[in-house]
Amino acid sequence: MSIFKLKLPEQKIQKKTPLDLLHSPLTEDLKRCYDIIVVGAGPAGLMAADQAAQTGLRVAIVEKMPSPARKFLMAGKTGLNLTKKESPETFLSHFDKQDELKPILEEFGPTEVINFARELEQEVFTGSTGRVFPISMKASPLLRSWMKRLDSMGVTLLRQHEWIGPVTSSDFNHFEAFGKQISIPAKALILSVGGASWARLGSNGAWAERLKETTIQLAPFKPSNVGVKVDWSDYMKPFFGRPLKNISISVAGLKSRGELVLTSTGIEGGAIYELGKTLLESSSTQIDLAPQINISQLQSLFENRNPKDSVSNFLRKYVKLDSTKRALVYEFNQLKNRNPYHLAKAIKEVTVPLLGPQPIDQAISTGGGVVWDSLTPDLMLKAYPGIFCAGEMIDWDAPTGGYLINACMATGRWAGRASANYVLANARL
């Protein structure tokens, strides 16, 4: 059951080209005052503005970068994974703050994300693993359509405007723009300023320093969905940048199947991210290079190996290991023992020593941020009425695979509706 009683009117999206993607000249923007200012033009901020503007309120999005949704566009560079088609219970199980996120994701889960993409005239498809992508696979067509929708509702985008606080209910609307400090009148503020990774795209976590001056509780930032460090020998240099496809990786009783990429400093990829902090805190992991065949079957293959066949050639011809997989076998096994069982085990259980997570700025996402105890159920700061939070800046975490973007959009939607309720309720007082 939603906590929001306000029924939002349907908006007819006009077919027109946005003016420079919603950008208005600075002098013109300063003449305006807004009901709601949204700080941050990622998926959470865009959705917050979208929902707030549907009530007819005057909404502005403030973005410190020259263009909106840079991290969103980067996420879609290799295929924009919007969500994952699963039952609500299964979908929710992948998040660490399930009780807090449950009502939010129940209102805007996989089905709703799919319907929203279609509203933006972006048809989607569901892959074999349940992951949902736009037909185009890219983020840019969806973003362009979304910006047109926002433009049709009168939303203004203020580029290269950085929110500088302070955090008080009566004084929160100060910004730095083009070397000047300015104030933009507003009745409510939605912070959707991201986590602390990919600083070059705008998410550097600097906002946390401003909130430390308040009573708001913050959990320390930590890398999530990030690669792990491995101390490779020189032997592995030719294989950096190459993928390990169709592998299984396990740690502490957890198992994930998918794809990894070898880097000069370690390994990264979806199969790792799914194992979360358990892997990041482990000293080693085991990789199964042939999950499609069990160890007994593999042992039988080695028992029937022609002595004239070298082990390397046999692995290529009969076990179907490519050069990268074979290199990994030799990196962590001497293979002096040619016993069929030991050879099979060397393929099925490649033990890789780990040296901890990669630096936080290399993480796809980060944990930490504003703790839930500092927020009301509608994502408003308890200590500062009129200031709402959304997206990755709140302390929740999830693996890649559609969960991150879905939750960012869902919390943005929730905060956008709640802020509109707040403004409209206070207007009636």
Percent of the chain whose predicted confidence (pLDDT) is above 70: 92
Q: What average pLDDT does this structure show over 285-295? A: 94
Q: Is residue 196 part of a domain?
A: yes
Q: For residue 46, what pLDDT is reported?
A: 98
Query: Does 376 have pLDDT greater than 70?
Result: yes
Q: Are residues 322 and 185 in the same domain?
A: no
Q: Are residues 164 and 61 in the same domain?
A: yes
Residue with the two structure tokens 């927020």: 375
Q: Is residue 4 part of a domain?
A: no
Q: Are residues 71 and 206 in the same domain?
A: yes
Query: Does 9 have pLDDT greater than 90?
Result: no
Q: Are 61 and 22 in contact (CB under 8 A)?
A: yes
Q: Are residues 345 and 407 in the same domain?
A: no
Q: Are residues 313 and 386 in the same domain?
A: no
Query: Does 149 have pLDDT greater than 60?
Result: yes
Q: Is residue 54 part of a domain?
A: yes
Q: Is residue 18 part of a domain?
A: no
Instruction: From residue 252, give the alpha-carbon distance in Å to each of 27, 256, 276, 286, 416.
Output: 58, 12, 12, 10, 40
Range of the domain at 169: 26-223+367-427
Query: Does 22 have pLDDT greater than 80?
Result: no
Q: What average pLDDT does this structure show over 278-301? A: 93
Q: For residue 212, what pLDDT is reported?
A: 83
Q: Is residue 21 part of a domain?
A: no
Q: What is the SS3 assignment for 156? A: strand
Q: Are residues 331 and 373 in the same domain?
A: no
- Which residue, 289, 320, 353, sits at the end of a domain? 353
Q: Give 29-49 pLDDT, tens digit per residue.
A: 445 689 999 999 999 999 999
Q: What average pLDDT does this structure show over 175-201? A: 91
- Residue 327 CA, chain-centre distance (Å), reads 32
Q: Give 198-236 pLDDT, tens digit per residue.
A: 888 888 898 998 888 888 999 999 999 999 999 999 999
Q: Are residues 79 and 206 in the same domain?
A: yes
Q: Are residues 149 and 214 in the same domain?
A: yes
Q: Cβ contacts of residue 258 below 8 Å, gap of 6+? A: 247, 269, 270, 271, 274
Q: Are residues 81 and 188 in the same domain?
A: yes
- Which residue, 297, 324, 353, sits at the end of a domain? 353
Q: For residue 89, what pLDDT is reported?
A: 96
State the average pLDDT for the chain: 89
> Could you tell me which residue, 331 or 429, shows the higher pLDDT?
331
Q: Is residue 316 part of a domain?
A: yes
Angle among Cα 307, 308, 310 to the nearest 5 degrees reads: 90
Q: For residue 337, what pLDDT is reported?
A: 62
Q: Is residue 74 part of a domain?
A: yes
Instruction: Detail the DSSP E strand segments found in 104-160.
Output: 124-126, 131-134, 156-159
Residue with the two structure tokens 């290991």: 321
Query: Does 170 have pLDDT greater than 80?
Result: no
Q: Are 107 and 414 in contact (CB under 8 A)?
A: yes
Q: Are residues 176 and 69 in the same domain?
A: yes
Q: For residue 4, what pLDDT is reported?
A: 37
DSSP string, 24-74: --HHHHTT--EEEEEE--SHHHHHHHHHHHTTT--EEEEESSSSS-HHHHH
Q: Are residues 323 and 251 in the same domain?
A: yes
Sign of the torsion formed by the C-alpha atoms of 41, 45, 51 and 53? negative
Q: Are residues 71 and 190 in the same domain?
A: yes
Q: Is residue 362 part of a domain?
A: no
> Domain count of the chain?
2
Round to whole Å and give the CA distance between 130 and 94: 14
Q: What average pLDDT does this structure show over 283-296? A: 95
- Which residue, 301, 328, 353, sits at the end of a domain? 353
Give me the CATH number covering residue 373.
3.50.50.60
